[in-house]
Amino acid sequence: MTAGIVLACPCGEVYELKPEFAGRLLECPVCNRHLRAGMPPGTPRRAMPDLEPAFDRDVFLLRERVLSISSKYEVWSGDGRPILYVERPTYLLRTVLAYLLAAIAASLVMAWTGEVVAASGATLGALAALLGYGLALATFIVVSMSARPLRHVTVFRDDSRREVLLRVWQDQRVAVLARTYTVVTASGLTLARLRKEYIHNVFRKRWYVETPAGQRTAMAIEDSIVLSLLRRVLGSLFGLLRTNFILVRLDAGSAGIVFGEFNRKFTILDRYVLDLTGDPEQILDRRVGLALGVMLDTGEGR
């Protein structure tokens, strides 16, 4: 018989949980404290002696530096020690130039549309104007996206930025249905690919983790469809409707099992907790897990 999990709350309540709640963040119904359910007795944590020690852990605390143009994160261990530094440049001037080029291109299309409308009759002119305005908008979007620089993510050992430990390459400038990012080591070894499908984001945001061969092994999905729909209508509501994600396995034999969470803490300064304690065997490479956590923030513009 599989052993259950005993969870004790500081308020005095004790709960016996089923094994499937292992690693989950739960709320005490008596005092509303948030508690982390432990793993069932006898579940060993897999040792990873060849992994960089900074990555060999289950909990990562990410704090964004808010007074910065670029996306910059300090990564701490669960006990509050700084272990990594992450940066994703914004390239403000190059982005402004991209929009300027797009505006010029759209203006040329509009000028051409005006000439066509002037040379056409009332009916054809109205149709040409409609098509021309649509083409101008499409031109602006395509040119601006094509001219904007790729925003790669780099994980450094510390904020001196002297030693690179991990990179996340943005694969496309222009993405219509999906956007992908490739996670590679400092030596260039591909670890995984992260995929964001825009059609899913209409209702409930989700990201997929894929092997280099394209097999999906995990998914990060918003924790609640109800909250997801409320966020679409009301926005974050000053941080009250925080966007949290749960991590779910997709590999054969364990599909549907929740093994981690990425939660935003309600603080003055943005802070995120990537908790992978539900994956003691480290089926998800912790380097890929951290890359996913960073993209769940900066890739969603949170």
The tens-digit pLDDT sequence of the chain (302 residues) is 345 666 666 666 777 777 767 666 677 788 766 666 665 555 566 767 688 999 999 999 998 876 555 688 999 988 789 999 999 988 888 889 999 999 999 999 999 988 888 887 777 878 888 898 899 999 998 899 888 889 999 999 999 999 999 999 999 988 888 999 999 999 999 999 999 988 877 778 899 999 999 999 999 988 777 666 666 666 655 555 566 888 998 987 777 888 888 987 655 456 788 999 888 888 899 999 999 999 998 876 55
Same-domain status, 189 and 60: yes
- Residue 256 belongs to some domain of the structure: yes
Asked if 248 and 219 touch (Cβ cutoff 8 Å), the reply is yes
- Residue 140 belongs to some domain of the structure: yes
- Residue 204 belongs to some domain of the structure: yes
Same-domain status, 220 and 243: yes
- Residue 165 belongs to some domain of the structure: yes
Q: How many domains does the chain have?
A: 3
Q: Does the reported pTM lie above 0.95?
A: no
pLDDT of residue 64: 82
pLDDT of residue 161: 94
Residue whose token pair is 């960073």: 294
Q: What are phi and psi of 58, to 5 degrees?
A: -105, -20
pLDDT of residue 1: 38
Same-domain status, 188 and 271: yes
pLDDT of residue 258: 82
Asked if 171 and 181 touch (Cβ cutoff 8 Å), the reply is yes
Same-domain status, 256 and 186: yes
pLDDT of residue 2: 45
- Residue 253 belongs to some domain of the structure: yes
- Residue 116 belongs to some domain of the structure: yes
Angle between helices 122-147 and 92-118 (to 10 degrees): 170
Same-domain status, 140 and 259: no
Same-domain status, 214 and 282: yes
pLDDT of residue 270: 61
Same-domain status, 269 and 219: yes
Same-domain status, 236 and 167: yes
Same-domain status, 72 and 188: yes
Using CA atoms, how far apart are residues 158 and 172, in angstroms rounded to an integer?
28
- Residue 88 belongs to some domain of the structure: no
Same-domain status, 130 and 5: no
Does the CA dihedral 102-104-108-114 come out positive or negative? Answer: positive
Same-domain status, 206 and 268: yes
| 67: its two tokens | 């007074």
Same-domain status, 180 and 75: yes
pLDDT of residue 169: 97
- Residue 266 belongs to some domain of the structure: yes
Residue numbers of the domain that contains 32: 1-44
